[in-house]
Chains A and B, each alone.
Chain A
Amino acid sequence: MRGATATISRDLGRILEALGVVVFASILVTLVWREFYAVPAMVISGAIPLGIGIALRRRFSDAAQPGKLHGMMVAATGWAAVGVFGSLPFILIAWTIAVDPAALSAPDLTGRAASTVAAFQHPLNALFESMSGFTGTGLTMTDNEEALPRTLQWWRTIIEWVGGVGVIVLTTAILARPGSGSLTLYESEARSEKIHPSIVSTVRTIWWIFILFTFTSILVLWLAGMPIWGAINHGMTGLATGGFSITDNSIATYDSALIDFALLPVMILGSIAFPIHYLILSGDLENFYTDLQTRWMFGFFGVGSALLTGVVYLRGTYDSLFAAFRYGLFQFVSAMSCTGFQTAVDSTNIALGRWPMGAQLTVTFGMVVGAAAGSTVGGIKLIRLATLLKGIRFRIIDVFYPESAVRRLKINNRRLTETEASQEFEEAAIIALLWLLFLIVGATVLMAVLPAGEYTLENILFEVASAQGNVGLSAGITGPGSLPTLGKVMFLFNMWIGRLEIIPVVVLLRGVLKRGGMY
């Protein structure tokens, strides 16, 4: 176990180093916006993970390369650690504004702006925001995003952008050398796709695609009429399917159908697996329909949006068919892509939490399923749904064939042997089952801690599915004051397991409990 601790510590150190670099790079934004009072807070926030990271990496530099068990533990501890250390800018800037140490000329905030920033003086709120950002969830402890210092607006954006691809993918791209156990770590972060034989080349290509599409997304939104600061932030969080906004009412603030429609391709780009992007950019356009996940994704987007449009129109939520289509299409794509941008809010129309039950459950279904594995989305993911459905069909039809018949299960143009089919079916079933199990646990905890009668069951299921699916749409439950402490802790856990697809976290917990003699 000592060897395992060394390996995990060394790799955790590398992740913290990468986090420190991201914090220090973000100080540029602080300087550009002339928020000089925030510089000390950012320097401290970067120095702590960087210092600990360097110390861990040097202390355990001769540790063994990670095996599968180590890889899962590194992923689970690494994501928890970036959540914890990523909360430092929120806490330190909030306290800098509150006490203005050393006369840093911090702004004197009043009203909602003051309460919005003050919420981050509480470490649990800051940790929630950080974990929500890194996991690409987008649920927030912020009351009014517009009132946040630009540094914190940017910090929320950059952690979603990095988290969308993955902190281990970032670390591997920057710090890893070929053959340094990178594949094991890469696979433990809910990724299995390879674009090149080398995993280091693969992650660099993933970043290449992601950066190119980030520029594209920013320009699309700017051309649609969004101011450039909004376009930069929403382009990054939209592509990362994170959903943090810099405006008070998410995308509804703009109240522009053109911006709503311009965000659809951004969210869709984030929902397609990176290897498919690479093939399409290389000229293999047929992957739009030959790849099972991409084909199913467009199918689900189409059917789900049509269904949602029908429900909200026929139930009278919206007066015109165009309004029903505009909000139904946007909210279903936002849900299933696990982005969490919201256009249906009370101030401009009817909030999601007050949509008809059928509409809320349709959105919930989208959040639970998610889009393509290998992209930036959360949820169970389409390939697992396909494996489950095709596997069940295969088993049932198998009964009608003679015992001597040799049959192969075909998934996404791959013909699987009996053993391979059983393995993939088993994995998909286990993750889907655990996903639903933790959904029920989260809903039960929420029902216990929320005031009786204030929220409906569909509201609660919606919110927990949103947290665990790393979506970020809210029925109005999540907030610094509205969500009790135990609910926040539960959601932290839901977001963490949702991002890592549960198994690595369960493995880590088992390891910890076993070491503590409790298992």
Chain B
Amino acid sequence: MIEARGLARRFTARGRNVEAVRGVDIDVAAGELVGFLGPNGAGKTTTLRMLTTLLKPTAGEATVGGCDLRTDPLGVRKRIGYVAQGGGTAPECRIAEELELQGRLYGLSRAAARRRGAELIERLDLAGLDQRLTKTLSGGQRRRLDIALSLIHSPGLIFFDEPTTGLDPQSRANLWDHIRRLRTEQGATVFLTTHYLDEADALCDRILVIDNGGIVAEGTPDSLKATVSGDGVTIDVPAGRAAEAAEIAGRLAGAHEVTAVDSTVRFRVPRGDTALPELVRALDAGGIAMTAMQVHRPTLDDVFLTLTGRSLRDAEAGAPAGRAEMTAQV
């Protein structure tokens, strides 16, 4: 469905060249659900805007939905749906009107556009809201309307840019269901960008990790998390005992990356949940009273740190200023 080779985009701002995307290769097969993961400013949105014909690549080739991005952008537009990060509804418009206009712009007759709109209103749990102005909708409802708008012409390929940014957990889970159903119910291919690992994990068959305009890793969520070897464990011990505690922790099977700073000890083990009881007993035997402990499963931050040597937060602090993107909440 998507085949991109060396796709690149350079912006010129105040005489300075900024390489937003530096030659990415992307392959997405029909029916796949693929996530594009990376910090803000990494080039996710720019890549997506190129693939959806909103931005011309400065280099590279791509076919999207079987049509060449350069020579047949109209063909691409007819075959894709796009849900932008900030949505795309006019506040003073009614839901039914927006859907009808969208359908008609894709060439449907008025009757067909209305029929299809009504169908999507049902499917996306917007029943009874068709005469409401879009500005009166909740964030989750509005996002579902954005999805309905992108589906009006039954595209085989749908792009989502940060689909759940700014949504509450419930709306988020609900939206994930809708995205999954696009594939199970209509066999659509989905390409989404996200900076939440749990989202990529929950939805995607495959993840491309992008940083600084280039793809730095690619794989299933599990294989990516496996690159971060094991769970992170953090324990607090009384002052002065950190070195001893670190030594004890280092004796656990598979423990590595052990560090002790002040009274905090950090390390990694393959299975945090099974390692902890053993650690508690060992520390107890050594006469060290632990004051706090924490185990965390590998997160995007960890994956990212392992892949790039930088933490996700550092990466975002270094991202080009003035980007209209939200700060990551990882």
Co-complex (A, B): no
- A residues near B (Cβ < 8 Å) are none
- Spell out B's residues near A (CB within 8 Å): none
